[in-house]
Structure 1
Amino acid sequence: MKNKSIIFTKRPKDFPTNENFSVQDDIVPVLNDNQILLKTVYVSVDPYLRGRMNNVKSYIPPFEVGEPMKSTIVAEVIESKNKNYSVGSHLYGMLDWKIFQVSDGTGLFPIPKDLAPLSSYLGVLGVTGLTAYFGLLEIGKPKENETLLVSGAAGAVGITVSQIGKIKGCRVVGIAGSDEKVDRLKNKFGLDAAINYKNNKNLLNELKTACPNGVDVYFDNVGGEVSDTVFYLTNNFCRIPVCGAISQYNQPTLPVGPRNNPFIISRRIKMQGFIVFDYSDKYLEAQMQLASWMKEGKVTLEETIIEGFENIPDAFLGLFNGKNFGKMIVKI
């Protein structure tokens, strides 16, 4: 067996490129007692990994230059010296970008057999789906007949948020970055309206048309000018779960934008950032609900799958160029 690793080689100043990574040959490790040998099956690439490439203090430590990249991975146990894990079983959790690696199982979660496709534990049943679930239901608290506006609606979190919003009886409006994505959001996922912000000279007017009764919940995945515009449409007591700011992740300095404090004050808006780990004690409950919705056809697994270990960096970079619809996953 041949092993490979993807190493983080240098910190980017703005947009990352392939020069920030290198694919290196590696050894297949030998097991010690209580260890398992894992073979990577699926790799999740996510926008938040860009923040870990900066040497700044955050809720999760930065990547170290010269060390393997990490993300959530589904792996198969191919050898075991740990009685708790049998050969052929599957686990998911934070692991290195390697084809083979050893673990004692700490921080990894078993995948029930035949409950759902393996890749769903990187999407709807993984951190992505849990982020959508808790951000919308715990902070957004949507009510029937309210208007839910979702930026980054064609991304992994955005699609899941949109589908949960429909389950809760909301008018759901999505913002995406291409006409193709807009078409799929409306015709496949049943959004009430969707807008291509890249092909729109007057986003505010388009949003007014799509949200005639204003916005009650805004699920913010992008930040920047799009989110600044949304504030003009917020209703009193609007709730804004702040999930991401992908429009700003690769900017060396943050641009000066409109100051939205007057809206927040006068309209009594609740705007709250969150990290999915805040709700770890409720993961199982949420996964069971999401799995139930999947079986009922109310939540659909939507993935962009890239094949090949050496293509992991390209898949990651594609997130910042709108290459994905739904969850971006690499199949090994």
Structure 2
Amino acid sequence: MHDNLIERTPSAYNYPLLIKNLLFSPVVNNPDQEIVYRDQLRFTYREFRRRVCRLAGALVKMGVKPGNTVAVMDWDSHRYLECFFAVPMVGAVLHTVNVRLSPEQILYTIDHAEDDFIFVNSEFLPILEQIRGRIDTVKSFVLLNDEKTVPETTLPLAGEYESLLNSESDTFDFPDFDENTRATTFYTTGTTGMPKGVYFSHRQLVLHSITALVALGTPASQGRLHQQDIYMPITPMFHVHAWGLPYMATSLGVKQVYPGKYAPNMLLNLIQKEGVTFSHCVPTILHMLMSSPEFESTDLSRWKVIIGEQPCRKKCARMH
């Protein structure tokens, strides 16, 4: 039965399907391409890889160990993208906290996931302040902040995100481990009872990324994602990894635009200014954009949008 197996060269790399290979062995290596955050920040993929290494160093210095769970409470940002990679790449589990849940439900997911560390946007500090006394597992918190001033909080902060990165090295030796290692976890919404936990392995996420890239690269035009596209998610990164598109966009080396908190004017301005050509969202978000006074004056002729979860009604039919 096994006589037909081809003998592997002893020095050959077995190549486990790990998330690090979407970053360091991508479909397209495009180090000078840009990643943009709102109207505040832009840097190249070359710098992005350095930032992922610095974040990994900061995680290890904080005491994050393989198997620990690191939660993130943030809007769609470059920081979130860096956590998408660095956290599972050091062998930890990324918990993408749904910030739209009630404080009681957020508390439930934090305790159920047994979060060890929480990276929290300053906007969500009041939620954690409210439930802090009932959080059982979290050792410390990292502040994610767009402002120059640091807000007051009673939470035990390990530091501010950028400050932690600035003190770390541009290189990090990411280990190999079993590709079936848990990489991420998140919780369902819209179901009966409390949110239900879901988790994904490195292997599952890599295979999903490759499969979806093939599927979206197949059409000649409609709905196609290709190397010249400019990507901006309008599905939250805490919602099923923004449908996995950030992993795909990074592996493809396309320009990426992260809008932070969804505000119609900001989204439309970014589409116009940055030349966004590919997004994904649900009809309610698209309707929010179409209700903005700036909608009619924004050039959307090159903007492709994948709509999910529910049918797009007549008012949305004007869009691609």
Classify the TM-score, shorter chain: 0.3 to 0.5
TM-score w.r.t. length of structure 1: 0.35
Higher helix share: 2
Scaled by the length of structure 2, what TM-score is found?
0.36
